[in-house]
Amino acid sequence: MSKFGIQERRITRRRFLGAGAATVAGLAVAGSLVHRPRSLPEARAAAPRTPVAERLVPSICQMCSTHCGILIHVAQGQITRISGNPDDPISRGRLCARGQAGLQVVTDPDRVRQPLKRDGSGRLRPISWDQAFQEIGQKLQEIRAKDGPQALVWLTHPEVLASWEQRFMNAYGSPNWTSHAPTCFSSRNVGWVATVGAVPSGDYANTRYYVSFGRGINDGISNPQVQGLMTAHRNGAHLVALDPRLSDFAAVADEWLPVRPGTDLAVALAMIHVLIAEHLYSPDAVAQSVGFDQLAQAVQPYTPEWAAERSGIDAATIARIARGLAAAAPAAFVDPGWHGPQGGMYWNGVALTRATACLNALLGNLGKKGGLKLPGPSPLPDEKSLPLLQPAPQPPKLPRFDGAGGPEWPLAKGMGRAHVLPEVIESGKPYPVRAVIVYHTNPVRAYPHGARVIEAFRRLDLVVVIDHQMSDTAWTTADYVLPESTYLERLGPVQVSGTKLVLPQPAIRPLYDTLGEDEIIRRLAEATGLGGYFSYTLDQYNRAMLAPLGLQPADLAEREVTLPLPPSPPQPLALKTPSGKIELASSAMEKAGGPAVPVWEPPLVEPDGKTNFRLITGHVPMHTHTSTENLAYLHALMPENQLWIHPSRARALGIREGDLVEVRSEVGRERLRAHVTEGIVPEAVWMAHGFGCISPAQRLAYGKGASDAALAPIRSAPYSGACATAETLVTVRKVV
Amino acid sequence: MARYGMLIDLTMCAQCSACTVACETLYRLPPGESGVHLRSFETGRFPAVRRVTLPVQCMQCQDPPCVKVCPTGATYQDPETGTVQMDYQRCVGCRYCMTACPYGARQFDEAQGTVAKCIFCTGRVKQGLQPACVETCIGHARIFGDLDDPGSEVSRAIAERHALPLRPDLGTRPSVYYVF
């Protein structure tokens, strides 16, 4: 951790100074002889700013998917700073480290500055945009003629201009547009949609009792949620972290419960058991639900004692937390989760989400202050209704390459199963995939088994990477790299932010020969013979989206980017489930071949506690996926990840703090430094996701730390089809 | 006279480093040379472990040892605000102040050949703005204001939350208070 790094560096510096007082005195004398005027950063900034010199451009942060409202400070054509927009309901004038460091996305010296094509010798060489579009368009037409439109897959993350990408794919005729959901939140979405028809969010600021099953809200930061939860903490809310690791959230929570990884489900089931056995549930909520009796019967065997045996959390604690939640209800909730145990990492992720969803439902917190809230309707029109976008290409009726939404994976639906792409490419089943367009995401380090991703992609006829940096995927597999303008240099689609409308707009002109994704898609479509579907610009699109509201982009672009919208209607009680009620017993789950009510499902793998470990991973507050380690400010905060290992296990392996260790799984091995800490369960090792860059073009990030993606085999968890990356066993040895 | 002070409530600190980067981007400092650093300490044995993360910066002491040792007067106390300031024209880079500071809150700026530190964003404060770290703190953990005014938000919060400075025994009388 950088935190320790900083500490070490300070100590070293002080030691040096303490040892050489004479040297220091010498320096003083020498220094006084060279009395040169210096540039004074503090004095400069402290001087009153002339309002003329600095322009504030309101826009949207795109350093993560929270999309906080920002003010981009521009002076003399350069971005000097990014701060939170005080008028924005998401950021409320505050920004995390990543959001502020966003200005280095523009100035990163390692940016891709022009379109590149891989030549016969394997090197990426500059070409013109015209040549790139012409060649890619021709290739795409050939592939469609020979192997059918389904041979093209589009992988994306973040999903900012997703509707344009999907439109392109529909026009081409391929059903294979896929987001990063299975590597992140698929299981959570499947479990919540089955229970209440949507994924809720928490009313963090007003809650009085908060329990997280493995979500580190301070680790994978969501700015508005952290603001809310920390304020609630000050106001007396009780925070409980159930996590195998002393995460940044666990460190500030009132209680850390070091659960054995993969057994959160046992704890959740036991809490339901307690609520029902002690009649602590909300009768109103039960009246608005189906399947209560079935659930009550199912959880009968799951006593706190039963759960304690599996989870390592003692029975009294489990019962106490359940009672604590009930006492504070409805201003209490179990976090709906994101990644982690309720997301995509574990085999029983859907079962856990179902259990925590039922637990929340029993608290009667849905739609209540301090509880959970369901997303309201968007005030923006459905783009399918816009005359500008007619004729709209129809979504093709072909089966997807990954089976999502098909008979085997009915609940995965549009979330896709991107991580199985290497298997599909290798086997040609269900059909051959010949080409892939990668927007921003970095499958080599974002999907499991990176080495297999590289091998598979290299077998394709065409790999196009659209990005502003030379990702591992671009470096190792791309035939063409199309450089995108950064979010600070390009227009974006108009968006809803909380109760306001916002326009992601450029603050400066693109520094290099780059294009916005909208323009890339338009010209790609043109070159592929699909230009008729993209006969409008992003500005025209934004105008069309705003017109039904009586607004224009200029209304959002001037002083402030936000405009008040009519308040959304109160929480509808008609839920988007088959029954229209809370489904404690889920018909959708049953239809998909699963249990209607949550029942115990063990994790897929079990470490033996002696020779191997479960590998668990997670996010850190200063980095987003694999996209920020090359930005100097964030790199300085955390240049590499470390392997967290418990002292008892480290001792047995002869590993000390800072030692170089090798972590080996069935599919790969990686090297990184050890962090020996009491803050992790002995049976697991942890590393932050996103490190181990293998693209030498990213000079700061290259070779730093280890990639967790290189170690996880390709697996698909039941029902959601998510890649269960935490079901990975590893051995650890000291590198001598 | 005002006496600027700050409260950092660790029960609200998200440990996200937003403060560190806010300082760096505002003053265009080299990466890693922010006026605010987070330091972590782990105590206890599994499972009763605690990790405290402390944002550390210039404590703006009322009795600052760095001022006493500075041979050129580059480090001085501003009578108007009670803050410890730097006159970079006078700083010769001798680093006495770094050795004198018991909080390790000063850093040597290799590029400038001077010692840098947090100056409580006094330039911003005089314009009616908050220090950058306070403005951006996503945990709302930081409160800034006048310690001499018992009615100020910071004074009231220090009293209500029983905040304490780090190492009061050193006698430096810091103006940064923490809630643990």
CA of B137 to nearest chain A CA: how many angstroms apart? Answer: 6
- Cis bond leading into A422, ω under 30°? no
- Contact state of A231 with B140 under an 8 Å Cβ cutoff: yes
Task: For chain A, say whether B11 makes contact (Cβ under 8 Å).
Answer: yes
Task: For chain A, say whether B67 makes contact (Cβ under 8 Å).
Answer: no
Of A14, A31, A94, nearest to B93 by CB-CB distance is A31
Q: What's the pLDDT at B36?
A: 96
CA of B160 to nearest chain A CA: how many angstroms apart? Answer: 12
- Contact state of B98 with A37 under an 8 Å Cβ cutoff: no
Q: What's the pLDDT at A42?
A: 41
**Test mutation, B11, B12, B17, B78, chain A, max A CBs within 10 A:** B17
Per-residue tokens: B81: 């605000």
3-state secondary structure of A30: helix
List of residues 6+ apart from A633 with CB closer than 8 A: A97, A100, A101, A104, B21, B24, B25, B31
**ipTM for the whole complex:** 0.97
What is the end-to-end Cα distance of chain B in Å, rounded?
Answer: 29
Task: For chain A, say whether B129 makes contact (Cβ under 8 Å).
Answer: no
pLDDT, average across residues A456-465: 98
Average pLDDT of chain A to the nearest whole number:
91
CA of B148 to nearest chain A CA: how many angstroms apart? Answer: 23
List of residues 6+ apart from A394 with CB closer than 8 A: A170
Task: For chain B, say whether A81 makes contact (Cβ under 8 Å).
Answer: yes
A77 touches A107 (CB < 8 A): no
Q: How far is CA A221 from the centre of its chain?
A: 10
pLDDT, average across residues A652-672: 98
Q: CA dihedral in degrees (A320, A323, A325, A330; nearest 10)? A: -170
- Contact state of B104 with A10 under an 8 Å Cβ cutoff: yes
Task: For chain A, say whether B24 makes contact (Cβ under 8 Å).
Answer: yes
Residue A557 pLDDT grade (very low, low, confident, very high; cuts 50, 70, 90)? confident
Of A27, A41, A680, nearest to B93 by CB-CB distance is A27
- Give the closest residue to A333 by CA, choosing from A363, A376, A299: A363
Instruction: Give the DSSP letter string of B11-54.
Output: TT-----HHHHHHHHHHTPPTT--S-EEEEEEEEETTEEEEEEE
| Residues in B touching A51 (Cβ below 8 Å) | none
Instruction: Give the DSSP letter string of A237-285.
Output: -EEEEE-SB--HHHHHSSEEE-PPTT-HHHHHHHHHHHHHHTT-S-HHH
| Residues in B touching A635 (Cβ below 8 Å) | 31
| Residues in B touching A637 (Cβ below 8 Å) | 17, 20-21, 32
Residue A733 pLDDT grade (very low, low, confident, very high; cuts 50, 70, 90)? very high
Q: Is the confidence at residue A686, as pLDDT, over 90? A: yes
Q: Is the confidence at residue A15, as pLDDT, over 70? A: no
| Residues in B touching A678 (Cβ below 8 Å) | 42, 44-46, 49
Q: Which residue of chain B comes nearest to A257, CA vs CA?
A: B47
Q: What's the pLDDT at B27?
A: 92
Dist. CA A631–CA A636, nearest whole Å: 8
To the nearest 10 degrees (0 to 180), the angle between helices A538-546 and A517-527 is 110
Residue A712 pLDDT grade (very low, low, confident, very high; cuts 50, 70, 90)? very high
Residue A573 pLDDT grade (very low, low, confident, very high; cuts 50, 70, 90)? low
Task: For chain A, say whether B128 makes contact (Cβ under 8 Å).
Answer: no
| Residues in A touching B40 (Cβ below 8 Å) | 1, 3-4, 7
A343 touches A349 (CB < 8 A): yes
Of B11, B92, B127, nearest to A252 by CB-CB distance is B11
Q: Residues 256..275 of A with a Cβ closer than 8 Å to B: which?
A: 256, 258
| Residues in A touching B136 (Cβ below 8 Å) | 83-84, 93-95, 100
Q: CA dihedral in degrees (A533, A535, A538, A543; nearest 10)? A: -110
- Contact state of B99 with A17 under an 8 Å Cβ cutoff: yes
- Contact state of B49 with A256 under an 8 Å Cβ cutoff: yes
| Residues in B touching A101 (Cβ below 8 Å) | 21, 25
pLDDT, average across residues A459-469: 98
The predicted-structure confidence for A605-642, as pLDDT tens digits, reads as follows 999 999 999 999 999 999 999 999 999 999 999 999 99
pLDDT, average across residues A173-201: 96
The predicted-structure confidence for B26-58, as pLDDT tens digits, reads as follows 999 999 999 999 999 999 999 999 999 999 999
Q: What's the pLDDT at A207?
A: 98
List of residues 6+ apart from B24 with CB closer than 8 A: A633, B30, B31, B33, B34
The predicted-structure confidence for A328-340, as pLDDT tens digits, reads as follows 999 999 999 999 9
CA of A583 to nearest chain B CA: how many angstroms apart? Answer: 35
Q: Residues 427..456 of A with a Cβ closer than 8 Å to B: which?
A: none
Q: What's the pLDDT at A563?
A: 57
Residues of chain B with pLDDT under 70: 1
- Contact state of A10 with B123 under an 8 Å Cβ cutoff: no
Q: What's the pLDDT at A50?
A: 42
DSSP state of A186: H
The predicted-structure confidence for A106-155, as pLDDT tens digits, reads as follows 999 999 999 999 999 999 999 999 999 999 999 999 999 999 999 999 99
Task: For chain A, say whether B77 makes contact (Cβ under 8 Å).
Answer: no
Task: For chain A, say whether B49 makes contact (Cβ under 8 Å).
Answer: yes
Q: What's the pLDDT at A736?
A: 87
Q: What's the pLDDT at A21?
A: 31
Q: What's the pLDDT at A568?
A: 53
Question: CB contacts < 8 Å between A and B, how many?
Answer: 202
CA of B36 to nearest chain A CA: how many angstroms apart? Answer: 11
pLDDT, average across residues A555-574: 60
Q: Is the confidence at residue A571, as pLDDT, over 60? A: no
Task: For chain A, say whether B100 makes contact (Cβ under 8 Å).
Answer: no
Q: What's the pLDDT at A23?
A: 31
A349 touches A191 (CB < 8 A): yes
Q: What's the pLDDT at A168?
A: 98
- Contact state of A31 with B47 under an 8 Å Cβ cutoff: no
B48 touches B24 (CB < 8 A): no
Dist. CA A457–CA A476, nearest whole Å: 9
Residue A19 pLDDT grade (very low, low, confident, very high; cuts 50, 70, 90)? very low
CA of B46 to nearest chain A CA: how many angstroms apart? Answer: 5
- Contact state of B112 with A230 under an 8 Å Cβ cutoff: no
Q: Point out which residues pair with A25 in neighbouring strands.
A: none
Q: Which residue of chain A comes nearest to B54, CA vs CA?
A: A3
DSSP state of B176: E
**Test mutation, B95, B138, B142, chain A, max A CBs within 10 A:** B138
- Contact state of B25 with A637 under an 8 Å Cβ cutoff: no
Dist. CA B133–CA B23, nearest whole Å: 6
| Residues in B touching A64 (Cβ below 8 Å) | none
Q: Which residue of chain B comes nearest to A244, CA vs CA?
A: B47
For A195, the enclosing helix (H) or strand (E) is helix A186-196
**Test mutation, A80, A94, A644, chain B, max B CBs within 10 A:** A94
CA of A639 to nearest chain B CA: how many angstroms apart? Answer: 11
Task: For chain A, say whether B72 makes contact (Cβ under 8 Å).
Answer: yes
Q: What's the pLDDT at A27?
A: 30
Task: For chain A, say whether B26 makes contact (Cβ under 8 Å).
Answer: yes
Q: What's the pLDDT at A556?
A: 85
Tokens 């040169």 appear where? A36
pLDDT, average across residues A347-361: 98
The predicted-structure confidence for A73-115, as pLDDT tens digits, reads as follows 999 999 999 999 998 889 999 999 999 999 999 999 999 999 9
A232 touches A205 (CB < 8 A): yes
| Residues in B touching A93 (Cβ below 8 Å) | 135-136
Q: Residues 145..174 of B with a Cβ closer than 8 Å to A: which?
A: none
CA of A112 to nearest chain B CA: how many angstroms apart? Answer: 22
- Contact state of A248 with B38 under an 8 Å Cβ cutoff: no
Of A17, A24, A230, nearest to B139 by CB-CB distance is A230
Q: What's the pLDDT at A435?
A: 98
